[in-house]
Chain A
């Protein structure tokens, strides 16, 4: 069946997101390593982007020349990207269970060399993906004069990498209104709360001062997410000359009670017993 890239109701998106979260849990427990917290925390954003009609893309034709591009800068959150791509039909869901295994296309961090459909670039060293995305947006807007859009998601801890600010400085300098920067603001990183490790706050004022139209939303509220992405699309359509930043307030481990808002879940997978518990909760929430 052809991919239906339409907008969906919050109820429909909740179902989509629950399915992606279940896939993430299944992948991680099978892999025995990997990141749980961030992927579960950003799932709702992916549901809107890929399965809610925001990204213009064709899963059956991944290299379609007219597609919008999505670059996951925080490469460690690969499980949610893989699970979303599989749910959109880029590849089979069975393949999800090969995550992090020998010879897999689902590398621990996205690897372009594997040829996995839907992966625009390798990423995993923080602070680089966003800069690649800016390069793509420059190519689309300044050289090809196309109306393609580029989205890139960074973590909030990732903002500690100085090269992030080099990238967004350039996005603003080149008036890339076709560029949408999503910041996953779950306030957690491996060593603890952002403020304890190295504060990046206030994020919104920084984005504003770097020339971005800045929108802060509840990253688990589909209406608010739609509102923010719609404003970006409007900005682009109207040629405002300003890139857009969406600060999505999220909870690490969203959807699984014992992972909720706990930075300890940044970089580990659930055990078999924990996975069973998590899947039960995710069935009920659907």
Chain B
């Protein structure tokens, strides 16, 4: 199996922007709608290359979304990108009816997602949209882990007919997949083999899961790391197989713990193969200003929480479902002290 190494740091939004140019070159009917922040969400690359197929709609996300539906119903493949805080919620009704109910071939790029937007603060740190978008019939939903995967995912949703949303971030994040790394909508990817516990992550937390697995290995625990960028359609088989072979699962995402990747895993396992699951994510709270790294620590979105949650999930497995259980936060403090002592 391919070994994944840290290759540098790059923002996922650049992958989105570069892929739009590729799509523009391949398909004459790909068009892009701008929401005044084209330089932030990297639709500016496309705008520069294909000015005749770029339309500025201004600060009007509802209108951009429905205009996109009108373009799609006229045979175009429109992409509209803005901050996820505004192009998944301000336009929620438009996404539900004009895009999804219509089965309009509209693609939304939701940028600056997650807590890692940093200084902009809670208003812009969208942490809830994956849960909402997942619930929409006909929607395809992808949360790529790095630049390269964002690039592939953007091309994939552009080439699939139907409504789709891709979530990407602002800050540079570890780059570890390469051009040859497979990507397919509806498929998760095992990034590291292991049979003691399964760490299932998406977005920026995939790399954190890899780090957690390295640390767990030092204790003789072999963790399987699964990258699940495709939230919908979801790779049920890979998740169930991991539960069967590991018996304990941790999910990790830069999102509220309710209803997104963790929710998808919990639903799938409740139905197919119930095992203990621990959820790493934002715990029902809003974000706040700060540097991305500080915030990831503050809101519990690092390898340490994944590591601690893995120990808790395994403990629950070993003691049976009803056994008394330590909370992951307690384990985190304990383990951190132990790690520092080593």
Docked complex Cα distance between A133 and B68 (Å)? 10
B162 to chain A, nearest CB (A): 13
A138 near B71 with CB under 8 A, answer yes
B70 near A136 with CB under 8 A, answer yes
A66 to chain B, nearest CB (A): 13
Measured between beta carbons, the chain A residues less than 8 angstroms from B55 are: 138, 142, 174
The answer to whether A139 has its CB under 8 Å from any CB of chain B is yes
A94-141 contacts to B, CB under 8 A, are 111-113, 120-125, 127-128, 131-140
A163 near B73 with CB under 8 A, answer no
A200 to chain B, nearest CB (A): 18
A65 to chain B, nearest CB (A): 10
The answer to whether A284 has its CB under 8 Å from any CB of chain B is no
The answer to whether B210 has its CB under 8 Å from any CB of chain A is no
Mark interface residues in B90-108 (1 if CB within 8 Å of A CB, else 0). Answer: 0001101110011100000
* Option from B76, B94, B101 in Cβ contact (under 8 Å) with A113: B101
Docked complex Cα distance between A139 and B73 (Å)? 9
A128 near B101 with CB under 8 A, answer no
Docked complex Cα distance between A128 and B58 (Å)? 17
With A128-B93, A143-B53, A166-B62 known as contacts, the answer to whether A134 contacts B101 (CB < 8 A) is no
Docked complex Cα distance between A138 and B63 (Å)? 13
Measured between beta carbons, the chain B residues less than 8 angstroms from A123 are: 97
Measured between beta carbons, the chain A residues less than 8 angstroms from B31 are: 143
Docked complex Cα distance between A133 and B53 (Å)? 18
* Option from A120, A142, A169 in Cβ contact (under 8 Å) with B73: A120
The answer to whether B122 has its CB under 8 Å from any CB of chain A is no
* Option from A138, A144, A163, A166 in Cβ contact (under 8 Å) with B70: A138
A135 near B60 with CB under 8 A, answer no
B25-82 contacts to A, CB under 8 A, are 29, 31, 53, 55, 57-58, 60, 62-63, 66-76, 78
List 7 extra interface pairs beyond A128-B66, A131-B63, A169-B63, CB under 8 A: A131-B69, A132-B69, A132-B98, A134-B66, A162-B62, A166-B63, A169-B58
Could you tell me which A residues sit within 8 Å of B by CB distance? 111-113, 120-125, 127-128, 131-140, 142-144, 162-163, 166-167, 169-170, 173-174
Q: List 20 A-B contacts (CB under 8 A).
A: A113-B101, A113-B102, A120-B73, A122-B101, A122-B102, A125-B98, A127-B62, A131-B67, A132-B98, A134-B66, A135-B71, A136-B73, A138-B55, A138-B67, A139-B74, A143-B74, A163-B63, A163-B66, A167-B67, A170-B57
